[in-house]
Amino acid sequence: SQELEQSPQSLIVQEGKNLTINCTSSKTLYGLYWYKQKYGEGLIFLMMLQKGGEEKSHEKITAKLDEKKQQSSLHITASQPSHAGIYLCGAARKYNTDKLIFGTGTRLQVFP
Q: Which chain residues interact with other proteins by CB under 8 A?
A: 2, 4, 31, 33, 40-45, 48, 88, 90, 98-105
Q: What's the CA gap between 47 and 58, in Å, rounded?
A: 7
Nearest distance from residue 31's CB to other proteins, in Å? 7
Nearest distance from residue 99's CB to other proteins, in Å? 6
Contacts of residue 41, defined as CB under 8 A and 6 or more positions apart, other chains included, come to: none
Phi, psi of 99 (to 5 degrees): -80, 125
Beta carbon nearer to other proteins, 4 or 84: 4
- CB neighbourhood size of 57 (10 A): 13
Nearest distance from residue 12's CB to other proteins, in Å? 18
Q: How far is CA 103 from CA 6, 7, 14, in A?
A: 6, 10, 25
Beta carbon nearer to other proteins, 3 or 78: 3
Beta carbon nearer to other proteins, 85 or 90: 90
